[in-house]
Amino acid sequence: DSGVTQTPKHLITATGQRVTLRCSPRSGDLSVYWYQQSLDQGLQFLIQYYNGEERAKGNILERFSAQQFPDLHSELNLSSLELGDSALYFCASSVLGYGGELFFGEGSRLTVL
Amino acid sequence: ELKVEQNPLFLSMQEGKNYTIYCNYSTTSDRLYWYRQDPGKSLESLFVLLSNGAVKQEGRLMASLDTKARLSTLHITAAVHDLSATYFCAVDSSGGSYIPTFGRGTSLIVHP
């Protein structure tokens, strides 16, 4: 158990819909990273938050947004979903503000039909 | 832009054999990590390598880092079936953001 909690574990939705993925980092970790894992693209960095502030942005689509709340949990919002958004979405936390060893949640598997 | 390349991407080996997985990266960094992922599961940290010449060992796995060559290796000794998994290396990009960038992963299958 990494100490990182992600919900939901699985969700199935239709194109055009919106979903929210939730992540609670390990106790004491201030950084939260979101990654998308798909067979063809591997692990792609989406966005990082540190202590409530956006720290870095990767190849995150404009249809996607995220935030980190004062209690340090984070949410990733995916809207106007397309078939290609089907993937495993991981949240990871780190004690460092810049990089470092990541502790991953179990992931949220999103299927868009 | 930091690029991280692993090879091989697929590896099928027999129990008892030795093999090495390679991880090359394109820009200067002295922070490299190895992770393991079982099918359908999360990623688990295996090794943290933070300096040139760093070597870490855990059981049948040994990881090393050569920052001058921008190369890390993950050596498997006398493979057993339980080592079957996908192994990822990740490198913290330099230049301010230090975002962990992952290789494509090496899918390892160990046959009896």
Which residue in A56, A96, A105 is closest to B97 by CB distance? A56
Q: For B6-57, how does the pLDDT look when each residue is reduced to its tens digit (9 = 90+)?
A: 999 999 999 999 999 999 999 888 899 999 999 989 999 999 999 889 999 9
Q: Is the pLDDT at B95 greater than 70, yes or no? A: no
CA distance A90 to chain B (A): 8
Distance in angstroms (rounded) separating the CA atoms of residues A81 and A112: 7
Question: Chain A window 3-32: which residues touch B at a Cβ cutoff of 8 Å?
Answer: none
pLDDT average, residue stretch A29-49: 93
pLDDT average, residue stretch A58-77: 96
Please indicate whether, in this complex, the C-beta atoms of A102 and B43 are within 8 angstroms of each other. yes
How confident is the model at residue B30, as a pLDDT? 80
For testing the chain A interface, which of B29, B98, B106, B107 should be mutated: the one with the most A CBs within 10 Å? B98
How confident is the model at residue A44, as a pLDDT? 95
Least confident of A76-80, B1-5, B74-78, B91-95: B91-95
Please indicate whether, in this complex, the C-beta atoms of B33 and A55 are within 8 angstroms of each other. no
Q: Are strands A87-94 and A103-104 parallel, antiparallel or unpaired?
A: antiparallel
